[in-house]
Amino acid sequence: MKKLPRILTAITAALLTATSAIAQNDAPEPLSRPSYYYEVQPGEPRVVECDVAVYGGTPAGVTAAIQAAREGKKTLLLSFNQHVGGMTSGGLTATDLGKKESIGGLALEFYNRIGRKIGFRPSAAESLYREMLDEAGVNVLLGRALKSAEMKENRVLSVSMETGETVRAGMFVDATYEGDLFAAANVSYRVGREPAGVYEESLGGQWQKVSWKDVYQFCRLPLSPYVDPRNPASGLLPEISTEPHGKPGEGDFKVQAYNFRIFLTDKAGKIPFPKPGGYDPGRYALLARFLHADPGIEWMLNYTTRSMTDGPVQVRKGDSNNAGSFSSDYVGGNYRWPDGTYKPGSFTQLPPARRGLPAPLSELYELRERIFQDHVNYQQGLMHFLANDPRVPEELRDRVNRFGLDPQEFQETGYWPHQLYVREGRRMVSEYVVTQADCESRRKVDDSVGLASYAMDSHFCQRVVVEEDGVTTVRNEGGFGHGFPRPYPVSYRAIVPKMQECSNLLVPVCLSSSHVAYGSIRMEPVFMILGQSAGTVAALALDEGIAVQELDYKRLKAELENDGQRLEWQEPAATPEKLPGLVIDDSAAKTTGEWISGTLAPISGTAYLHDGNSGKGEKTVTFEVKVPKSGDYQVNLLYVANANRSTKTRVTVEVGDEKNEIVVNQRERDGNGKSLGSFRIEDAMTVTVSNLDTDGFVVVDGVQFLPK
């Protein structure tokens, strides 16, 4: 079936708007406080029939529904809560873009229409999503919680909602952050972290050593975990795990921490940070101890990776995230969120994949509501503590109190986000599992349904007691941020279940991926990209009367590209050849020690190198350059400046018998980097960058030679 012309789409939208409005009005009234779930009294049973049913009001759910409707399918979007847009309308507007050139299709349309890719208002995002859904003629039902799925052999026949509807469709899309629909359909999945050896992932399992070793680790200070610092019998302070941690590389069932992306302002009328019911300042005793652990700690109220600095939280205009050793991430508070279960302990052999529902969905929703409210209490209490507790240094309290909740956002939930940042739930296990090898382009698929381009990124999974240099202290574990060479394709096979398990279901959010790779994929732009591709697959499979696994990829690829999806990475315009003069990219340099590839905003090529702010004195990058003709040259070190960079990066320039030692402050740059000076070069020169005695990240993107 061909796509509806835009005029027909508009007419269809107008005809369905009334239906959508009626359906929305049937939903329960929203609460005045943030809430994940509330019981409803079922209405009269009724059957709703459609071609494509999308469960989950996330960005992936929105784009899947819009795309299926634009393909001419009668489409229904069921949102668990009273909103559409998931985290994008729930506070996460400092968008994790990765490489913006990798974004196409509906995701790019959304960002173009809202007018920016980062820094928009959550309410503006939701308004635009609703507008785009209406334009496409999508029927939207809010406040719909899944009750059960009716299966016949390997197909979903219908899904039943707690409100009384039974939805029958030819194709289904599970666009939830948790994977509830595919679990109800008995599709295989995992929760937690695989051992490092399962997929040969250097970032896999516990205590990985590749990156983030020293980030948000209480400034590496010997911080006692005990109530009485000198007496282990006094017990552990709150928010420290009583479970023994595992060994490096071992897997476990722990999940990276969740938080709320609160939206702040410093303008008049701001809402003071609320004091939650049952507020217990003792919950923050570890933070209080950290705040007074050393007078030399600098509190940034923002991201930082420099030695002897910490957040402890991000406090700024707009979207404010976790940013510290003890911060808004509620480490360890979410282990049972994905499927209601959690088993302590570590393992070296991967357990069998799970199938089905360990607990009935209604019980799972009630459990999640308790976990949700515990997260509200924790994070509201944290902000109240920082703003008011006398144990917080006065200067820090004053800085926190300059901000408050934005009164223009989340008015129906007490100015607090309605969406908990579920960074990871279930992960489907299909015929293809995306792993670190995909992210690093060591393995490349030929059935792309979209590009992912953000660093592999996991928040902490546990806060535990360790012995360090003979001293018992507390450390966070499980966090990493690791770049890779270029945006990489996500396999079509990763968003469809195994054929024998379900043949008419697509999963663009909780797709088939290792924990490590999911840390890169789990970004809202990527969810929108994969959601659109899922909507296309659903429509084409319906047209052909086949299973979602059987669609000819050549046809799918042509359709996706016709709709503006970007399936293969094309080098950006700003390549080394495009910069003036002679440019030698970091990819042509010789290195010693383990450097990490970053891709967020390179000046030269598609990536840059950084030292991970670790292994000081062990790492160098050396450029051996032969100039095209002798003469005088200005030599520039190319790099991306940032507040976390080293202020004393050592660069050695060797020309003939002359050796020059230069110190560069990489928190600053002039143009594309910093000049190392002008040199007379007859034939060749060597430039060596070292991380010896540096005080932050050392970054190298290339060297540039400009003839004088």
505 and 642, same domain (yes or no)? no
Question: Is 682 part of any domain?
Answer: yes
Out of 528, 562, 596, pick the residue that ends a domain. Answer: 562
pLDDT at 6: 35
Q: What is the pLDDT of residue 592?
A: 87
Check if the beta carbon of residue 455 is closer than 8 Å to that of residue 436: no
Residue 70 covered by a domain:
yes
Integer Cα distance of 233 and 236 in angstroms: 9
Percent helix / strand / coil, the chain, rounded to 5: 25, 25, 50
607 touches 675 (CB < 8 A):
no
Backbone angles phi, psi at 224, to 5 degrees: -65, 135
* pLDDT given at position 653: 95
Q: Is residue 239 part of a domain?
A: no
Q: Where residue 330 falls among pLDDT bands split at 50, 70, 90?
A: very high
Q: Looking at the structure, do residues 126 and 79 belong to the same domain, yes or no? A: yes
Using pLDDT thresholds of 50, 70 and 90, give the confidence band for residue 211. confident
What proportion of the chain, given as a percentage, has pLDDT over 90? 82
Could you identify the residue written with the tokens 């229904």? Answer: 76
What's the rounded mean pLDDT across residues 103-125? 94
Do 538 and 625 lie in one domain? The reply is no
The vertex-148 CA angle with 143 and 152, nearest 5°, equals 135
pLDDT tens string 487-496:
999 999 999 9
Q: What angle do CA 416, 417, 419 make, to 5 degrees?
A: 145
Model pLDDT, residue 612: 76
pLDDT in tens, 341-356: 999 999 999 999 999 9
Claim to verify: residue 502 and residue 611 sit in the same structural domain: no
Question: Are 643 and 690 part of one and the same domain?
Answer: yes
Domain end point (choices 540, 562, 584):
562
User: Which structural domain, as residue segments, surrounds residue 113?
Assistant: 43-190+485-562
> Predicted confidence band at 280 (pLDDT cuts at 50, 70, 90)?
very high
pLDDT in tens, 414-440: 999 999 999 999 999 999 999 999 999
Please give the average per-residue pLDDT across 366-371, as a whole number. Answer: 98
- The tokens for 378 are 């924790």
Q: pLDDT (tens digit, 9 = 90+) per residue, 591-616?
A: 888 887 776 667 887 678 988 788 89
Residues 604, 660 within the same domain: yes
pLDDT per residue as tens digits for the range 437-486: 999 999 999 999 999 999 999 999 999 999 999 999 999 999 999 988 99
**Is position 672 within any domain?**
yes
Q: What is the pLDDT of residues 2-13, one digit of tens each?
A: 444 333 333 333
Mean residue pLDDT across the chain: 92
pLDDT tens digits, 256-274: 999 999 999 999 999 999 9
What is the Cα–Cα distance from 78 to 65, expressed in whole angstroms?
10
* Residue given tokens 């990798």 in the structure block: 102
Q: Which of 429, 425, 445, 432 is nearest to 509 (CA)?
A: 425
The confidence score (pLDDT) of residue 63 equals 98
- Half-sphere exposure at residue 189, Cβ-oriented, CA atoms within 13 angstroms: 31
Inside any domain, residue 661 = yes
498, 586: one domain:
no
What is the 8-class DSSP label of residue 350? P
Is the pLDDT reported for residue 647 higher than 70?
A: yes
Write down the pLDDT at residue 422: 98
| End-to-end Cα distance, the chain | 63
What confidence tens digit (pLDDT) does each residue in 44-83 have? 999 999 999 999 999 999 999 999 999 999 999 999 999 9
Per-residue pLDDT at 600: 60
Same domain, 535 and 608: no
507's tokens: 């999963």
Asked whether the beta carbons of 608 and 598 are under 8 A apart, the reply is yes
Q: How many domains does the chain have?
A: 2
Residue pair 377/416 in contact (Cβ under 8 Å)? The answer is no
Note whether 698 and 583 are same-domain residues.
Answer: yes
What CATH number corresponds to the domain at position 504?
Answer: 3.50.50.60
**Containing H/E element for 400?**
helix 394-401
Residues 6+ apart with CB under 8 A from 558: none
Is 380 inside a domain boundary?
no
